[in-house]
Amino acid sequence: MKVAVLDIKGKETGRKVDLSDAVFGIEPNNHAVYLDVKQYLAHQRQGTHKSKERGEIAGSTRKIKKQKGTGTARAGSIKSPIFRGGGRIFGPRPKDYTQKLNKNVKRLARKSALSIKSKEKAIMVLENFDFETPKTKDFVGILKSLGLENKKSLFVLGDSNNSVYLSSRNLERSEVITSSEISTYKILNANNIVLLEGALEALETNLIK
């Protein structure tokens, strides 16, 4: 599939690149996409939630009232869950939410997500660029030139570029990552994917194995 290469002003450079059908033109596997997105979201959870049970509450262990003759139910501890300040019954405990997923399934999911975006014509190829100094205004100018200022966009670089990353960090709807950091969730969460020329070879190499 041939795609025109754009410059930072949003105009065609006259060059075209060939996007591999093995990455951008497969039949999407929805179940693989579901599994990869589920794993990504699960890994965002810290799992440090914890509440104290009756054995962990600080308090006196004396019997708070006599067993019989009070007209109310017997009670042996102030730390009982039925009293205010007592322990919690079946409260949350620390848990590891990480999930295992086969590498081939993850690779298939990412190719499926890219193929979905390709069918939606939501993928752009941009020539490599750099900033002398990090400046959000310069990055916003590129977004406006590409018509992405009001859309969620994902810029994929070939190698890490601190100036470009810092220039985009304050923008809520734009994210800059390298080809090795791409994920199914980030692809699908963006309205448009902007691939820099330098990222194409590394991206296709990682996904075609």
Residue 176 phi, psi (nearest 5): -115, 125
* Res. 176: pLDDT tops 90: yes
Question: How many domains does the chain contain in total?
Answer: 2
Among 38, 69, 91, the domain boundary falls at 91
pLDDT tens, position by position, 92-111: 999 999 999 999 999 999 99
Q: Enter the tokens of residue 143.
A: 């977004």
**80 and 164 share one domain:** no
Same domain (yes/no): 176, 135: yes
Up-side HSE of residue 48: CA atoms within 13 Å toward CB? 2
Domain co-membership, 193 together with 115: yes
Q: Are residues 168 and 112 in the same domain?
A: yes
Q: Domain check: are 73 and 114 in the same one?
A: no
Kindly state whether residues 116 and 138 are assigned to the same domain. yes
> Are residue 59 and residue 154 in the same domain, yes or no?
no
Domain termination site, one of 91, 121, 151: 91
At 105-162, the pLDDT tens digits run: 999 999 999 999 999 999 999 999 999 999 999 999 999 999 999 999 999 998 889 9
Q: Is the Cβ–Cβ distance between 127 and 13 less than 8 Å?
A: yes
Question: 32, 65, 91 — which closes off a domain?
Answer: 91
Rounded to an integer, what distance in angstroms lies between the CA atom of residue 126 and that of residue 36? 27
Q: How far is CA 12 from CA 7, 50, 85, 114, 194, in A?
A: 6, 55, 68, 22, 14
Strands (E), 31-182: 123-126, 153-157, 174-178
Return the number of other C-beta atoms located less than 10 Å from residue 160's C-beta: 12
Query: pLDDT confidence of 1, banded at 50, 70, 90?
Result: confident
133 and 197 both lie in a single domain? yes
Q: Are residues 73 and 125 in the same domain?
A: no
* Domain boundaries, position 78: 51-91
Are 159 and 64 in the same domain? Answer: no
- Which pLDDT score, from 0 to 100, does residue 61 have? 85
**CATH number of domain containing 114:** 3.40.1370.10
Beta-bridge partner residues of 117: none
Residues 146, 87 share a domain:
no
